[in-house]
Amino acid sequence: MKTPRSLLLLAVLAAFATLSAAPARAQYTLVWEDNFDGTTVNTSKWAFQTGTGCPTLCNWGNNELQYYRAENATVSGGLLTITARQQSFGGKSYTSARLRSQGLADFTYGKIEMRAKLPIGRGLWPAFWMLPTNSPYGNWPMSGEIDIMEYVGHQPSQVFGTLHYGNPNQIYSSTSTSLASGTFHDGFHTFAIEWEPNRIRWLLDGVQYACKSNWISSAAGYPAPFDKPFHMLINLAVGGNLPGSPDGSTVFPQEFVIDWVRVWQKPQDMTSILFDGMDHANPFANGWFVFNGGGGGSIAANSTLPPQDGCGASLEVGYGGPNGYIGGFGRTFPIDLSGRTNFEFWINPDANQRYTLEINLQEDDNGDNSTDEEFQYNLVVSPTGPGAIAGGGWQKVSIPLAGFFDDNSVFPGGNGVLDPISTLKGGNGQLVSVVMAIISQGGGNQTFRTDFWNFRNTTALDVAEDDAPGPRLLGAAAPNPFRSSTTLRFAVQKGERYAVTVHDLSGRRVRELESGRGLAGERTVSWDGRTDTGASAAPGVYLIRVRRDSGAEVRKIVLQR
């Protein structure tokens, strides 16, 4: 039997840190797929983009050489085949095809994957990628681009995963991976991303090869721009900035063959705001700093020990000196903590050491992004804890903001209140820096790794699986997953007020199904997959909540299209 799973755990603020080992990841649920079982491209799932991109985006913005035609995409035997031909058409010397799901299948977060076999030859550029559906933060690249798979045909054993963003000049982060033997033209491989609110992972055949947790947007705060709906694109370009032009060695026609495309989703923690995922080679280029006391030391990126909960690296900390204050480190990164209740981070302390981490939240009280006061929490690290266990491997520490006390020894000014809300939003201030000072209790070296610093709201709804034990206010949805309609059962007591609502994974209400004051007994309610405005909801994972005077419960349902 499955155990209950919490999307957001109901909690009461306490003034003590909690310590936990790594939890299991929530499981993905299939919400959308195309197995290409028909004889033509399913136009309820894909739309063709044809031509040269002119007049608004001539040559598709990349100096590409092809004319896109619907005729170059065919479906047969459970496969979608995009064929690039050396063919004069529309003033171009090559033809190919480009499909997108905009307005038909748009997603925010999830596992998006494709199984495909790639063409081979210089000048060929197949891609499986995503663009923002509505460009809420401005024109490219400010609203972002996610390249799940890119490939150039003259390097047939290598693929790329890339993020594009900017402010507004383009910034990109790209990582490649290569096959141990053979080429991507020899057979089928699975290309995927796992897109979460604070990180994006790239996978080849189920194995992660890249991860990104840090990006920027000039139009909004982190995690923009990768926090809005994106749609999928599949295309085979000929020529262009990345692969160059075909030459005499390139054989036409060439085929980009897709077996299937699938989208999976799971409940996401929408309450977390990342301070730093340690996803950088040089911490000092990302706002980090160090200082020495009675001893000395420094920090560095560490990619040799697998990090916890973050991406490709953790932060390695090494200090030494006598008993007492020996130094420390921190990062300046002003953020708005509105609605957050806890500071959380991962730590992997080396064995047989004893020290206190003096954790300081430095904040601004007047809107000038300079420190006016400091709030402190002391975390004891030793072989027995209690803050963190030396030699205990990766551990997650969660400290309620209410547990930090006003330390006015360094910054005597301020109003004495930890202000999470920025002055721009009507508050008194915001976080400017997080600083950790090391107080040695045993002399010698004090060394540890740390990863994925974030602030989170630990108070919200509890979401259980349909077969979870215990009191049942809300019965199982049937069918689930569903396409056209699903029905749920719930009970009310005599005269009890109730409301049944549908929410997306961010907690935003999608539909109110029913509300009122009922007679005692069981009631049923159905959802037809439409929003309060009557529009069709996008496929994905949703939460059904029944709220009564005597309690509330939330269940997960999956809408497929």
- DSSP bridge partners of 173: 163
Which range is least confidently modeled, 2-16, 116-130, 195-209, 325-339? 2-16
CATH number among 2.30.110.10, 3.40.50.720, 3.30.360.10, 2.60.120.430, domain 18-24+271-456: 2.60.120.430
Instruction: Supply 1's token pair.
Output: 């039997």
Task: Using a pLDDT cut of 90, give the percent of the chain over it.
Answer: 54
Instruction: Supply 285's token pair.
Output: 């280029």
Q: Is the pLDDT of residue 147 over 70?
A: yes
Per-residue pLDDT tens over the stretch 414-441: 777 787 776 666 776 788 999 999 999 9
What's at 437, amino acid-wise? A
| 463-559 matches 18-24+271-456 in CATH topology | no
pLDDT of 474 reads 58
Q: What is the mean pLDDT of residues 382-392?
A: 90
- Distance, CA of 99 to CA of 521 (rounded, Å): 51
Q: What is the mean pLDDT of residues 81-96?
A: 98
Instruction: Supply 387's token pair.
Output: 């803050």
Q: Which residue has the higher pLDDT, 369 or 43?
A: 43
pLDDT category, 550, cuts 50, 70, 90?
Answer: low
Q: What is the mean pLDDT of residues 111-140?
A: 96
Per-residue pLDDT tens over the stretch 346-365: 999 999 999 999 999 999 88
CA dihedral 57, 175, 166, 127 (to 10 degrees): 20
Q: Which residue has the higher pLDDT, 96 or 492?
A: 96
pLDDT of 471 reads 36
pLDDT of 48 reads 98
Place of tokens 């994006």: 200
Q: What is the mean pLDDT of residues 377-385?
A: 92
- Distance, CA of 308 to CA of 328 (rounded, Å): 22
Most confident of 257-271, 321-335, 470-484: 321-335
pLDDT of 273 reads 84
Does this model's pTM top 0.85? My answer is: no
- Distance, CA of 541 to CA of 96 (rounded, Å): 35
Q: Is the pLDDT of residue 461 over 80?
A: no
pLDDT of 448 reads 96
pLDDT of 106 reads 95
Active site residues: 145, 150
Which range is least confidently modeled, 56-70, 87-101, 496-510? 496-510
pLDDT of 11 reads 31
Per-residue pLDDT tens over the stretch 507-549: 678 999 988 876 667 788 899 999 999 999 988 888 888 877 6
pLDDT of 307 reads 62
pLDDT of 22 reads 52
Residue range 29-265, CATH number: 2.60.120.200
Residue burial 62-85, b: 16+ Cβ < 10 Å; e: rest: eebbbbbbbebbbbeeebbbbbbb
Closest listed residue to residue 499, CA positions, set 516, 479, 487 = 516
- Distance, CA of 229 to CA of 453 (rounded, Å): 26
Q: Is the pLDDT of residue 389 over 80?
A: yes
Task: Using a pLDDT cut of 70, give the percent of the chain over it.
Answer: 87
- Domain coordinates in residue numbering, the chain: 18-24+271-456, 29-265, 463-559
pLDDT category, 306, cuts 50, 70, 90?
Answer: low
Per-residue pLDDT tens over the stretch 398-410: 999 988 998 877 7
Q: Is the pLDDT of residue 293 over 70?
A: yes
Q: Is the pLDDT of residue 104 over 80?
A: yes
Residue range 463-559, CATH number: 2.60.40.1930
pLDDT of 10 reads 28
